[in-house]
Amino acid sequence: MVAVYLLLLSLLPPERVEQGPTVCLFQAVFGVHCLGCGMTRAISMALHGRFGEAAAFNQLVFPALFFLLLVLVWDIRFLLRAILHGGPGEASESQLRTQPTHIH
């Protein structure tokens, strides 16, 4: 999901994202900005190399982007492990032989 989010924001022109509607529930209910307000616009700007504008939208963009990239790397690692080792939920034959079977 993170990959799709980052891909979409990197493909869309930042001006298009900037003109989009505000979807912050906190702002809609209370009428004030939350800590995440402007984050989508900030990440879009940062992905297009416009770091000053990104920080102007939300100064937490850089730690958030770092976290998103960590999640992306983790997801890729998990996906590769699943592909190379037969899936995340499948036990190997040797694991099945060594695990005791309990019948109730």
User: In which domain, by residue range, is 55 found?
Assistant: 2-98
With respect to residue 56, please indicate whether it lies within any of the assigned structural domains: yes
With respect to residue 36, please indicate whether it lies within any of the assigned structural domains: yes
With respect to residue 104, please indicate whether it lies within any of the assigned structural domains: no
With respect to residue 81, please indicate whether it lies within any of the assigned structural domains: yes
DSSP 12-64: S-HHHHHTSPP--HHHHHHSS--TTTTHHHHHHHHHTT-HHHHHHH-TTHHHH
Q: Above pLDDT 90, what percent of the chain?
A: 33
With respect to residue 45, please indicate whether it lies within any of the assigned structural domains: yes
Instruction: Report the mean per-residue pLDDT for the chain.
Output: 83
Number of domains, the chain? 1
Q: What is the pLDDT of residues 56-79, one digit of tens each?
A: 999 999 999 999 999 989 988 988
With respect to residue 103, please indicate whether it lies within any of the assigned structural domains: no
